[in-house]
Amino acid sequence: MDSSNKNIEKLETYINRNGYPMIRRCHNCLYWNPENNDKKIGLCTFKPLYFAFTLEPSVFFITKEFCLCENHLFKNEEKLSQICEKKLMKDIIKKKDSID
């Protein structure tokens, strides 16, 4: 397991009102913007890349709605942290693996 997987496992997520973990993915991230009305492809605005000819930070990663990175924040992260139970992604992944 590489270090990025370990960072993902350290992420916390929240338990929804039905008792299931909320899935962190680009689609529900504060930094994700859908591209041209396509709900499945978007741009991650967390950390722009630099355009080589102008050195302006104006290029963004294209992601699919089901991807996840360690910088993910739910659009309503602050509210969720106050009202929902927290769980480590590591625990959820282990539970999923034991079911498979």
Note the pTM of the prediction, 2 decimals.
Answer: 0.77
What pLDDT does 30 receive? 95
Q: Which structure tokens are listed for 84? A: 């929902």
Total number of domains in the chain: 1
- Bridge partners (DSSP) of residue 74 are 29
Vertex 21: Cα angle to 20 and 27 (nearest 5) = 120
13 against 2, higher pLDDT: 13
What pLDDT does 86 receive? 93
What pLDDT does 77 receive? 94
- Backbone region of residue 88 per phi and psi (left: phi > 0; alpha: psi in -120 to 50; beta: other values): beta
Flag whether pLDDT at 1 surpasses 60. no
Helix (H, G, I), strand (E, B) or coil at 26: helix
* H-run or E-run covering 27: none
Decide if 29 contacts 75 (C-beta within 8 A).
yes
The boundaries of the domain holding residue 49 are: 3-99
Decide if 65 contacts 27 (C-beta within 8 A).
yes
Q: Write the pLDDT tens digit of every residue in 64-81.
A: 999 988 899 999 999 999
Q: Write the pLDDT tens digit of every residue in 13-49.
A: 999 999 999 989 999 999 999 888 777 899 999 999 9
